[in-house]
């Protein structure tokens, strides 16, 4: 049966990275805006290059078209325009003052000079002023050799502090959060973090307070991050140009565990870091180094290297079964208390966002733990028993693209086995540093596989790393389990296009025209037939970035289109996990797209591409979780209760 008979698509494109704040909307010329809408162009000369560009193109964007580099600090391709750092100033013929290239719209024919003595002198003075307020020793900074301020200081020949230099820190470092550390002594007031938190994520933890020389970036009443509504997503870290924001790094504790002969140290690696960590070793974005990374981790001293994708496959069976059980209760048992839509729960930043802003919808969250936490629970129980290792001697480390995973592994409900599921969450950046510290050249290593029995996973688990991946993985399984059709008969090459891509919000409808037999794995739940699903049109949606999540949630509250959905995937970070707050810097839409391409290409190269066909997952249900998905033991170890879900650590 062809796919076009089974599903229809209706993309709703909401680009959270293109949101325009009040500061950018001020003084906009209505005539030029109207002209831009009609494709009008205007001539501009930048240095010796003359060209035509669409009206209202910024000088910075026009310069990029002819490969003229203009330095920036406050500008970021993901964020709204601010024009506050002034480092991008240029000279426009006929104008008395210098203009900021990032925010100056071209509305008439102009001639721009980007490197006159006046421009160079102004940029140097701006840098000197920034450095006069920037405290910190570069050698000990986490951003050493990857700091935009440091790079510009070198580029402009800064060899002394023209306006002096701060000799001691002005404020204490905020170390209160499990995820994000703030050192405002290194802040240059570019406001990237503010715009990230307010415009990109619509959380609003950070703000620019006071005026003039008293300006500072702070939280509400300057409270520590652990006491405000920070969702730990780390997107502010990804866009900070200096070391003012960084993740809370546990690598010293991990080295101590590796060096302890009594500890059995296990690391699981998620797909997104494997598609991005090469960037820290000067590889092109989107270069997958899965097998080389396995070798590097063993050389670092980890006792076992496992694949998080195994637990992602486990998550699909648990979360998918939960969805089917909710549908049965609603359609067969007529239980009106069943919460729909069901929300995914594998993004800890999204979970905390929901707890803070929409706590009344906590029952809609799937009770399934994230793959990271499921893996830890399996390690401290099933794996410990099979290898006769006491759980207290097992140290579980999770290599994740996400700073919020550090918070997640410290939640009190993540220890249902009696032991902490995951001991340490490690970001891609931190893992790259550990590899470099061990003197290992990652790209030059020979490849090696994962350790068994958790080294074989499906392509469905792999694509969890991209926005829409959880939904696509779920559909590959649900289609086969319910209809009896092969997913390949429904989706060509198992590619489900309506849930792929970087549109802020995606929507899809999937009609179930026939039903097949109920798998033995689900008989435990007394489901004898799928007849109650025949003819049903499943409505699903995908949202990435919490600004888009807010749009969906407000629509649900208003009883709109998304309130009719059965299942919605939410990811806190733009692009999903591959754009996580622990990924290498810099980040941009192009870099995230390259990482996604690597993930999808690896999926298509695998023999197993559906979660329910993973033999190791089926084996664990046979040997350990014998009641099947959502059975008593799996619910105890792999799920959390709604009540516990509501207890956010703040």
| 348-357 and 546-557 helices, crossing angle to 10° | 40
- For residue 42, CA distances in Å to 57, 110, 304 come to 9, 9, 61
Distance CA 471, CA 273 (A): 20
Give the per-residue pLDDT at 641.
74
Give mean pLDDT, residues 563-582. Answer: 98
Catalytic, 569? Answer no
Given the residues 366, 370, 403, 611, select the one marked as catalytic.
366
Confidence category of residue 643, pLDDT binned at 50, 70, 90: very low
Residues 6+ apart with CB under 8 A from 256: none
Asked: is 125-247 a CATH 3.30.70.20 domain? The reply is: yes
Give mean pLDDT, residues 468-487. Answer: 96
Given the residues 91, 202, 318, 319, select the one marked as catalytic.
319
Give the per-residue pLDDT at 15.
36
Given the residues 346, 402, 409, 630, select the one marked as catalytic.
346
Distance CA 441, CA 436 (A): 7
Q: Is 14 exposed, middle or buried (0-12, 13-18, 19+ CB in 10 A)?
A: middle
Given a cut of 70, whether residue 506 has pLDDT beyond it is: yes
Distance CA 630, CA 578 (A): 29
Task: Name the phi and psi angles at 561, rounded to 5.
Answer: -55, -45
* CATH fold of 319-332+339-368+456-613: Fe-only Hydrogenase (Larger Subunit); Chain L, domain 3 (3.40.950)
Q: Report the share of the chain in percent with pLDDT over 70.
A: 93
| 290-300 and 428-437 helices, crossing angle to 10° | 60
- For residue 212, CA distances in Å to 80, 189, 208, 209, 643 come to 22, 11, 11, 10, 47
Task: Give the residue ranges of DSSP H helices in 182-337.
Answer: 192-195, 235-239, 251-259, 271-276, 290-300, 308-331
Given a cut of 70, whether residue 25 has pLDDT beyond it is: no
Distance CA 132, CA 140 (A): 18
Residues 6+ apart with CB under 8 A from 262: 393
Catalytic, 346? Answer yes
Confidence category of residue 213, pLDDT binned at 50, 70, 90: confident
Spatial contact of 43 and 109, defined as CB atoms under 8 Å apart: yes
Given the residues 9, 413, 497, 564, select the one marked as catalytic.
413
Q: Which two tokens stand for residue 475?
A: 């559909």
Distance CA 566, CA 320 (A): 12
Distance CA 608, CA 615 (A): 9
Q: What angle do CA 292, 295, 297 make, to 5 degrees?
A: 110
Helix/strand/coil for 419: coil
Cα dihedral across residues 92, 98, 104, 107: positive or negative: negative
Give the per-residue pLDDT at 26.
35
Give the per-residue pLDDT at 596.
97
Give the per-residue pLDDT at 28.
43
Q: Which of 293, 576, 332, 587 is nearest to 443 (CA)?
A: 293
* pLDDT 10s digits, 319-370: 999 999 999 999 999 999 999 999 999 999 999 999 999 999 999 999 999 9
Distance CA 508, CA 498 (A): 6
Bigger pLDDT: 38 vs 530? 530
E strands, 545-635, are: 567-571
Given the residues 147, 577, 611, 630, select the one marked as catalytic.
577
Q: Which two tokens stand for residue 248?
A: 């809370």
Sheet of 264-269: strand order equals 304-307, 264-269, 394-400, 424-427
* pLDDT 10s digits, 418-435: 999 999 999 999 999 999
Q: Which two tokens stand for residue 54?
A: 């669409």
Give the per-residue pLDDT at 20.
36
3-state helix, strand, coil in the chain (%, to 5): 45, 15, 40
Given the residues 202, 318, 322, 503, select the one marked as catalytic.
322
- Can the peptide bond before residue 586 be classed as cis, meaning omega within 30 degrees of 0? yes
| 117-133 and 148-155 helices, crossing angle to 10° | 140
Segment holding 117, helix H or strand E: helix 117-133
Spatial contact of 610 and 489, defined as CB atoms under 8 Å apart: no
Q: Which of 32, 112, 115, 121 is nearest to 65 (CA)?
A: 112
Catalytic, 236? Answer no
Spatial contact of 368 and 315, defined as CB atoms under 8 Å apart: yes
- Can the peptide bond before residue 341 be classed as cis, meaning omega within 30 degrees of 0? yes
Asked: is 28-115 a CATH 3.40.50.720 domain? The reply is: no
Give the per-residue pLDDT at 2.
45
* pLDDT 10s digits, 584-615: 999 999 999 999 999 999 999 999 999 999 99
Given the residues 328, 380, 405, 506, select the one marked as catalytic.
405
Spatial contact of 572 and 233, defined as CB atoms under 8 Å apart: yes
Given a cut of 60, whether residue 3 has pLDDT beyond it is: no
Given the residues 202, 318, 408, 472, select the one marked as catalytic.
408
Give mean pLDDT, residues 240-257. Answer: 98
Confidence category of residue 456, pLDDT binned at 50, 70, 90: confident
Question: Which range, of 24-28, 258-262, 412-416, averages the lowest pLDDT?
Answer: 24-28
Catalytic, 137? Answer no
* pLDDT 10s digits, 291-318: 999 999 999 999 999 999 999 999 999 9
* pLDDT 10s digits, 133-157: 999 889 999 999 999 999 999 999 9
* pLDDT 10s digits, 407-420: 999 999 999 999 99
Catalytic, 322? Answer yes
Confidence category of residue 647, pLDDT binned at 50, 70, 90: very low
* pLDDT 10s digits, 272-295: 999 999 999 999 999 999 999 999
Q: Which two tokens stand for residue 312?
A: 């992602």
Integer-rounded Cα radius of gyration of the chain = 26
Catalytic, 319? Answer yes
Query: What residues does 400 pair with on adjacent strands?
Result: 427
Domain pair 28-115 / 125-247, same fold: no
Q: How many CB atoms lie within 10 A of CB 421?
A: 28
Given a cut of 90, whether residue 252 has pLDDT beyond it is: yes
Distance CA 197, CA 184 (A): 16
Dihedral through CA 502, CA 508, CA 510, CA 511, nearest 10? -160
Spatial contact of 45 and 111, defined as CB atoms under 8 Å apart: yes
Give the per-residue pLDDT at 167.
87
Give mean pLDDT, residues 55-68. Answer: 97
Convert 613-630 to b/e letters by CB count within 10 Å (16 or more is b): bbebbeebbeebbeebbb
Give the per-residue pLDDT at 18.
35
Give the per-residue pLDDT at 518.
94
Given a cut of 50, whether residue 24 has pLDDT beyond it is: no
Q: Which two tokens stand for residue 58?
A: 């910024």
Catalytic, 630? Answer no
Q: What is the DSSP letter of 131?
A: H
Give the per-residue pLDDT at 645.
41
Give the per-residue pLDDT at 5.
45
Distance CA 218, CA 597 (A): 37
Distance CA 510, CA 479 (A): 9
Confidence category of residue 524, pLDDT binned at 50, 70, 90: confident
* pLDDT 10s digits, 80-116: 999 999 999 999 999 999 999 999 999 999 999 999 9
Give the per-residue pLDDT at 37.
57
Domain ranges of the chain: 28-115, 125-247, 319-332+339-368+456-613
Distance CA 253, CA 250 (A): 6
Q: Which of 591, 609, 580, 578 is nearest to 274 (CA)?
A: 578
Distance CA 484, CA 517 (A): 7
β-strands 216-218, 537-544: how paired?
A: unpaired
């Amino acid at each position: 049966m062809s796919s076009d008979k089974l599903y229809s698509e209706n993309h709703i494109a909401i680009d959270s990275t293109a949101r325009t704040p009040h500061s950018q909307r001020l003084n906009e010329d209505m005539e030029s805006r109207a002209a831009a809408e009609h494709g009008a162009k205007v001539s501009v000369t930048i240095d010796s290059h003359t060209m035509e560009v669409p009206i209202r193109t910024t000088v910075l964007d026009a310069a990029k078209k002819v490969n003229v580099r203009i330095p920036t600090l406050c500008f970021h391709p993901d964020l709204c325009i601010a024009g506050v750092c002034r480092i991008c100033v240029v000279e426009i013929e006929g104008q008395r003052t210098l203009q900021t290239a990032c925010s100056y719209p071209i509305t008439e024919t102009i001639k721009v000079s980007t490197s006159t003595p006046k421009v160079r002198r102004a940029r140097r003075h701006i840098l000197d002023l920034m450095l006069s307020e920037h405290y910190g020793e570069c050698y000990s900074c986490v951003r050493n050799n990857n700091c935009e301020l440091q790079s510009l200081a070198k580029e402009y020949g800064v060899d002394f502090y023209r306006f002096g230099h701060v000799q001691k820190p002005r404020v204490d470092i905020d170390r209160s959060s499990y995820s994000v550390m703030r050192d405002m002594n290194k802040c240059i007031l570019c406001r990237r973090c503010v715009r990230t938190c307010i415009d990109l994520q619509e959380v609003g933890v950070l703000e620019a307070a006071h005026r003039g020389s008293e300006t500072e970036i702070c939280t509400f009443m300057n409270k520590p991050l652990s006491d405000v509504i920070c969702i730990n997503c780390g997107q502010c870290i990804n866009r900070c140009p200096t070391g003012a924001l960084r993740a809370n790094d546990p690598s010293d504790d991990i080295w101590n565990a590796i060096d302890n002969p009594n500890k059995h140290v296990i690391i699981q690696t998620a797909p997104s870091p494997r598609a991005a960590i090469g960037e820290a070793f000067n590889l092109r974005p989107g270069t997958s180094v899965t097998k080389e990374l396995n070798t590097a981790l063993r050389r670092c001293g980890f006792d076992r290297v496992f694949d998080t994708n195994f637990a992602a496959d486990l998550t699909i069976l648990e979360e998918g079964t939960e969805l089917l059980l909710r549908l049965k209760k609603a359609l067969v048992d007529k239980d009106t208390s069943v919460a729909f839509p069901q929300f995914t729960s594998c993004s800890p930043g999204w979970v905390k966002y929901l707890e803070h802003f929409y706590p009344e919808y906590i029952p809609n969250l799937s009770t399934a733990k994230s793959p990271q936490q499921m893996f830890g629970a399996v390690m401290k129980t099933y794996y410990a028993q099979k290898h006769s290792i006491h759980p207290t001697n097992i140290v579980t480390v999770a290599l994740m693209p996400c700073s919020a995973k550090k918070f997640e592994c410290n939640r009190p409900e993540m220890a249902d086995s009696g032991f902490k599921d995951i001991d340490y969450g490690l970001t891609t950046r931190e893992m790259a540093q550990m590899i470099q510290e061990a003197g290992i050249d990652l790209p030059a290593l020979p490849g090696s596989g994962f350790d068994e029995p958790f080294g074989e996973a499906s392509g469905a688990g792999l694509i969890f790393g991209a926005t829409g991946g959880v939904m696509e993985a779920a559909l590959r399984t649900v289609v086969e389990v319910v209809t009896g059709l092969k997913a390949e008969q429904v989706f060509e090459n198992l590619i489900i296009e309506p849930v792929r891509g970087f549109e802020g919000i995606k929507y899809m409808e999937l009609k179930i025209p026939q039903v097949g037999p109920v798998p033995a794995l689900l008989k435990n739940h007394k489901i004898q037939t799928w007849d109650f699903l025949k003819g049903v049109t499943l409505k699903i949606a995908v949202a990435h970035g919490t600004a888009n999540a807010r749009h969906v949630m407000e629509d649900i509250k208003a009883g709109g289109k998304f309130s009719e959905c059965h299942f919605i995937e939410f990811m806190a970070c733009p692009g999903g996990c591959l754009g996580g707050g622990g990924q290498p810097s810099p980040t941009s839409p192009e870099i995230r797209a390259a990482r996604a391409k690597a993930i999808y290409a690896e999926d298509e190269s695998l023999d197993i591409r559906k979660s329910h066909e993973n033999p190791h997952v089926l084996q664990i249900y046979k040997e350990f979780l014998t009641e099947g998905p959502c059975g008593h033991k799996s619910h105890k170890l792999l799920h959390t209760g709604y009540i516990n879900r509501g207890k956010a650590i703040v």
